[in-house]
Amino acid sequence: MRKSLFIGLVFIIAVGIVGCTVWWAVVPPKVQPPVVKLNRVEVAHYWPFWIEPKKKRGSTLDLAFVFDITNPNKFKVMLDQFRFTTAFEGFELSTPIVYEDIYIPAKTTSQLRVEVTYDAYTALLALLVPAGNVEMLKKKGVKHVNLLKSWWEKVGDFAFPIEVRNGVASFTSDYGEVISSFKATFPFKK
Amino acid sequence: MKKSGWKLLGMALILTLAFSPAWAAEVIKVGAINDMTGGTCDVGKDYALGIAEAIAYVNDAGGVNGKKIKLFQFDYGYRIPEAVTIYKRLRDYDKVIAVLGWGTGDTEALSPTVTKDKMPYVSASYSAHLTDPKKTPYNLFFSCDYSTNARGCITAWYEEIWLKDPKYKARRQRGDKPRFVCFYSWPTPYSSAPIKAIKDQAKILGFEIGPDQDVSLTALDTKSQVLAAKKFKPDLVWHGNTTMSVATALKDSYALGLGAWHISNNWGFDKNLVKLAGPAAENAIGAVPCAFFGEKGPRFMPKIVEYAKKLNPGIPEKDRLIRTVQAWGDVLLLWEAMKRADKAGKLTGEGIKEAFETLRNFDLGIGAPPVTFTPTDHRPTSIAQMYIIKNGKFKFLKRIDFKKRYPEKWEKEWLGW
């Protein structure tokens, strides 16, 4: 009697496990892309402006970009890669890429802080080299060094638009991979 | 009876493992060191996007015999010391088995280290200094090298313009030599890499060589260099920098009436040149390593365009460059070598290098000449392709196979510079 009860129990458990597993494998839930939203930009570290182009150096400016990442799924997802381009007043300056693995539990919002260091000399190169930036500089009729200086001086008040462009976040989960795209301009319009 | 119960449980466990969604496939780690913000970001950013897109395609196409590639990509802002620190991170922390690099400066600086580490380093630097496996066995790339590009450009101009244009008839009959100068950034390894080769080719063809002009990669004004070159009255100018700087030099040459033809290395020749230099870019000739973005014909082009749209939907198709295709070239090359190494049961740095050396006339499917590597020669191809800008469009001009044309020099003299 005990033996048959044991076998019956094992059979039920086995069928249950196999059934559920095969079901999830054959009809996996569709992975919804998590929603990535810029929460705010902060000045993380600040040094007054200076630049010595001949010595290829200048002061640095550290900004922190804080993002909210909301997982709409009923299961956890893992942030695998996070990439975006930053632009000051429309001038693209850097493309940070983050690889830290961050799990976001089901139906929750996690925050990710990405610190980006700008140095005046590299920012100068970014203004002078890419075709798009050079054209905009001409249209604005501003001298590149003056523009950099104004950014360093006004960033504390966020007196110019700081954009997050071409943002792409890749997520993995037990049920597949998914990509979310995002963009934002800070300060936000009131 | 008890025995059959265990059997059932065992089967259940096997099936569970077999169907488990969390089943983790083996992952191959590859690093990428790119310039998205520095002195070559005019071409580097598009290349970096292409690297990530090509890797995504490779994974969707089955990875390396079923093993997925995990890419670790970093921007080093064209600062060589930063490239070295990123390389160390990739090697020691991420433990990558190959690196997709970028510039000539950092690739050449890292070359002794990657050789010691037996790390395949497939870069966007096509410097001929990286093609002699006795010196740089782990440096590889898919394209015609800079020196062959340079030899190709000057030879194409000589044969198609100097020898054919009626404008030069009287001078040809007088026995005049065509006059030639080089514009490039002297301290930049990329720019200076093919100078010895192009001057050698100029001598072979009988040019008179004028004084070099130092033009920075970030030049916004090259009038002093153009005026200095004007004193020599050149017929032809070689531009060894990237697009932005080449555009500045073309515009100043146009404005100051230099009256010379212009030839350019591949990183200075793309649709941004037409956009930035306008009419000054007309008739410029350049080396082109593969098909332009979106060009019809090459097998992989539909995928290249599809993955650009899919992974970077925020960047309009019209803004994508040939640099994306070049990135695919290096990724597809590495992919093939890794598949071969894996098949041979030797997916290690050494195994990947050996796999590269089994490639013979391998067509990458991106409109590039087929590649061949041997244990004694890492020049991917001996064929240079040149295009000319006509009415703002790129037109095919000439293809020159230097191995066929100069077999002895190609075999015995030109390897490694």
The residue that leads in pLDDT, B105 or A161, is A161
CB contact under 8 A, A129 and B244: yes
Query: Does A25 sit within 8 Å of B20, measured CB to CB?
Result: yes
What average pLDDT score do residues B249-277 get?
A: 96
Nearest to B230 by CA among B206, B251, B211, B203: B211
Domain membership flag for residue B14: no
**Inter-chain residue contact B312 with A166, CB threshold 8 Å:** yes
Summarised one tens digit per residue, pLDDT across range B235-262 is 999 999 999 999 999 999 999 999 999 9
Q: 3-class DSSP state for residue A141?
A: coil
Which residues of A fall within a CB distance of 8 Å from B242? 129
HEC readout, chain B = CHHHHHHHHHHHHHHHHHHCCCCCCCEEEEEEEECCCCCCHHHHHHHHHHHHHHHHHHHHCCCECCEEEEEEEEECCCCHHHHHHHHHHHHHHHCCCEEECCCHHHHHHHHHHHHHHCCCEECCCCCHHHCCCCCCCCEECCCCCHHHHHHHHHHHHHHHHHCCCHHHHHHHHHCCCCEEEEEECCCCHHHHCCHHHHHHHHHHHCCEECCCEECCCCCCCCHHHHHHHHCCCCCEEEECCCHHHHHHHHHHHHHCCCCCEEEECHHHCCHHHHHHHHHHHCCCEEECCCCCCCCCCCCCHHHHHHHHHHHCCCCCHHHCCHHHHHHHHHHHHHHHHHHHHHHCCCCCHHHHHHHHCCCCCECCCCCCCCECCECCECCCCCEEEEEEEECCEEEEEEEEEHHHHCHHHHHHHCCCC
Spatial separation of the C-alpha atoms in residues A3 and B374, rounded to whole Å: 69
Residue B162 shares a structural domain with residue B272: yes
> Which of A22, A97, A128 is closest, CB to CB, to B218?
A128
Residue of higher predicted confidence among B115 and B26: B115
Residue B15 has pLDDT above 70, yes or no: no
Instruction: Identify the weakest region by mean pLDDT among A4-18, B32-46, B216-230, B393-407.
Output: A4-18
Q: Do B51 and B129 lie in a common domain?
A: yes
CB contact under 8 A, B12 and A18: yes
Chain B hits for A130, Cβ within 8 Å: 41-42, 45, 244
Least confident of B7-11, B59-63, B172-176, B214-218: B7-11
Residue B54 shares a structural domain with residue B124 = yes
B400, B262: one domain? yes
Report whether pLDDT(B20) > 60. no
Q: What is the number of structural domains in chain B?
A: 2
**B356 domain residue, yes or no:** yes
pLDDT band, very low/low/confident/very high, at B7 (cuts 50, 70, 90): low
Identify whether residues B202 and B328 lie together within a single domain: no
Tell me: do B135 and B157 sit in the same domain.
no
CATH code where residue B320 lies: 3.40.50.2300
CA dihedral B290, B296, B302, B304 (to 10 degrees): 30
Is there a single domain that holds both residue B35 and residue B94? Answer: yes
Assess whether B165 and B253 both reside in one domain: yes
Answer whether residue B10 is part of any domain: no
User: How do residues B141-158 score in pLDDT, each as one tens digit?
Assistant: 999 999 999 999 999 999
Report residue B374: phi and psi, to 5°. -125, 165
Instruction: Look at residue B6 and tell me if it is in a domain.
Output: no
Q: How far is B243 from chain A (nearest CA, A)?
A: 9
**pLDDT number for residue B313:** 84
Give the residue-averaged pLDDT of B365-373.
98
Chains A, B: CB pairs < 8 Å: 114
Q: Rounded to whole angstroms, how far apart are CA atoms A73 and A80?
A: 16
Per-residue pLDDT tens for B48-70? Answer: 999 999 999 999 999 999 999 99
User: What pLDDT was estimated at residue B25?
Assistant: 66
Residue with the bigger pLDDT between B366 and A19: it is: B366
**Whether pLDDT at B21 is above 50:** no
Shared domain check, B358 and B278 = no
Cβ contact B5–A129 (<8 Å):
no
Please report whether residue B18 resides in a domain.
no
pLDDT at position B71 over 60:
yes
Q: Judge whether B134 lies within some domain.
A: yes
Is residue B50 a part of any domain in this protein? yes
| Structural domain boundaries, residue B250 | 147-288+386-413
Top residue of B42, B242, B251 to mutate, by most chain A CBs within 10 Å, is B42
Does some domain include residue B20? no
Asked if residue B274 and residue B303 are part of one domain, the reply reads no
Of B42, B77, B78, the CB nearest to A130: B42
My answer on whether B169 and B267 are in the same domain is yes
Per-residue pLDDT of chain A (190 residues; tens, 9 = 90+): 567 777 777 777 776 666 656 665 667 789 999 999 999 999 999 999 999 988 889 999 999 999 999 999 999 999 999 999 999 999 999 999 999 999 999 999 999 999 999 999 989 988 888 877 888 888 888 899 999 999 999 999 999 999 999 899 999 999 999 999 999 999 998 7
Same domain, B307 and B345: yes
What is the structure's pLDDT at B351?
98
Predicted local confidence at residue B85, as pLDDT: 95
pLDDT value for B22: 44
